[in-house]
Chains A and B, each alone.
Chain A
């Protein structure tokens, strides 16, 4: 039979064909009489032959083309977030897992959604050091919800920012949040919810800083910023101050008061917009109090207030540096801080030479750095 098959497979015989069967439905011929025994024999032999052929072929292929998969890649993959968000810079979670195992230069902390725990686990698996990476959050740089801002027209089309922007936006301000919730829909972690005033609210517990919302937002009003940046000019309007005031009640009108009041010269006015320099800002929150339109947002609110510890030497430095004159006391005696005046800016805590001021948001860091300095000395 084998020789018969081989003979039949010869190329010259392939064209043209003599169709040896008649009947409807795919060459099943209608026959009056079927010889059961030879038919069964042929069927069984054919099925067994083709089964063996495929089985051997597949086994050979599997053997010859086997790919060794590092078990570490699988283990690393288990610690990744599996959101395929691309925050690590690779196409997907699998590609990053492979890169971090194979390439010694790829750091283990690139998976932002997996967080520090994931980074530590991956570092342990790959024998690398997990440097602590500051968390990043999506920040909406607009506070002009629909009740706070003016509309240019009434929009009734597809309820999605990406569609609204095709009409030029229905808000009078071209720079602000449109409020149709595209960011909330693209967020793979469900961290963004729309408030009643049509502004996105980012849940810091769920946000991983993957930048999907930043990419989807047509007005680019979402910025992904480090956790430490807690005082933000939440406005992107580059319109003139008078126009911004007309369009929105919480827009930055570039009055420059924040730049004047800041002891560290962090805010800079450029193109009718104040922007806080991240490197200079100490998150003291003075500008937040002075901003006439409330465009600067303080994410640390409510701020804990300062109090003085008993080892105060009475040097009066705190009284000199305080922007609201909250500390009082005679020289060389224990000072007190007026709790009703203190705004929790933390400037005095940093500048106190004996670290006698506690309670502010930055006090733990001040104490930690003081201890480190003492140890070094």
Chain B
């Protein structure tokens, strides 16, 4: 029962309530790094990892410090601080411990620290009052959903490069149109699971 609930959370966060295509969050990064498949994959790996760890950290602080002290109204500012602090620390540590990984993913870390998806995950976790495991599952699902969105978009945009797009639509405009069409397709997932 517990496991099926977690699975439902992962599916709902990645497909039904996909952050990019149904909640329209994280669009700046989505359009920024979906030009090439290589950067898209690097970004989604980093994103998922950061999301899960920051969800766990903020869950502990929210549940064990902020609720007892009755200062839950501070959650936005505290979650921003937690994510930024964690990202900065991992940036420093990664540079020392594995420079190879840092060269590959380091550029994305700076972009992540103030991203809206990363902030939305702990906020939704807090709002829905998910348990610890549920929070992690939700973060994992969100990360997978974002990765899916980025990879779909990157593969389409690599083809768009070759396509004969009318001049006024070249670049970002056609990317927005494509995103709209994918979002339309993703609305077909609605009603897959009822929670």
Contacts and interface: CB of A to CB of B under 8 A. Distances in A.
Q: Name the interface size band of chain B.
A: 35 or more
Given A5-B64, A5-B65, A8-B64, A54 B71 contact: no
A66 interface: yes
B81 interface: yes
B114 interface: no
A62 B92 CA distance: 6
B136 to A, nearest CB: 13
A168 interface: no
A65 B97 contact: yes
Interface stretch (A112-120, A156-164, A325-333, A362-370): A156-164
A58 B66 contact: no
Interface in B66-123: 66-75, 78, 81-82, 85, 88-89, 92-93, 95-97, 99, 103, 123
B132 A47 contact: no
Contacts of A9: 60, 64
Contacts of B62: 27
Interface string B41-71: 0000000000000000000111111111111
Interface string A9-51: 1000011110111000111110000000001001100110011
B191 interface: no
Interface string B31-46: 0000000000000000
A62 B93 CA distance: 8
B95 A65 contact: yes
Given A9-B64, A160-B162, A61 B92 contact: yes
B5 interface: no
A67 interface: yes
A50 B69 CA distance: 14
A56 to B, nearest CB: 11
Contacts of A158: 162-164
B126 A27 contact: yes
Contact of A39 (B71, B89, B132): B71
B108 to A, nearest CB: 15
Contacts, number: 89
A57 interface: yes
A58 B65 CA distance: 21
Nearest to B128: A26
Interface in B145-181: 162-164
Contact of B70 (A39, A58, A61): A39
Interface residues of A, number: 39
Nearest to B78: A50
A65 B85 contact: no
B162 A54 contact: no
Contacts of A65: 92-93, 95-97
B127 interface: yes
B96 A66 contact: yes
A184 to B, nearest CB: 14
Interface in A49-77: 50-51, 54, 57-58, 61-62, 65-67
B187 interface: no
B139 to A, nearest CB: 16
B162 A58 contact: no
A43 B127 contact: no
Nearest to A185: B161
B69 A27 contact: no
A53 to B, nearest CB: 9
B23 interface: no
Nearest to B163: A158
A16 B130 CA distance: 11
A15 B63 CA distance: 11
A61 B86 CA distance: 11
A301 B30 CA distance: 52
A26 B123 contact: yes
A57 B82 CA distance: 12
A39 B73 CA distance: 11
16 contacts: A4-B68, A5-B68, A9-B60, A19-B67, A19-B129, A20-B68, A21-B70, A21-B72, A27-B126, A39-B71, A42-B70, A57-B85, A58-B92, A61-B89, A65-B95, A158-B162
Interface of A: 4-5, 8-9, 14-17, 19-21, 25-29, 39, 42-43, 46-47, 50-51, 54, 57-58, 61-62, 65-67, 91, 94-95, 158-160, 162-163
10 closest Cβ pairs, A-B complex: A65-B96, A26-B127, A54-B85, A26-B126, A27-B72, A8-B64, A61-B92, A42-B69, A160-B162, A61-B89
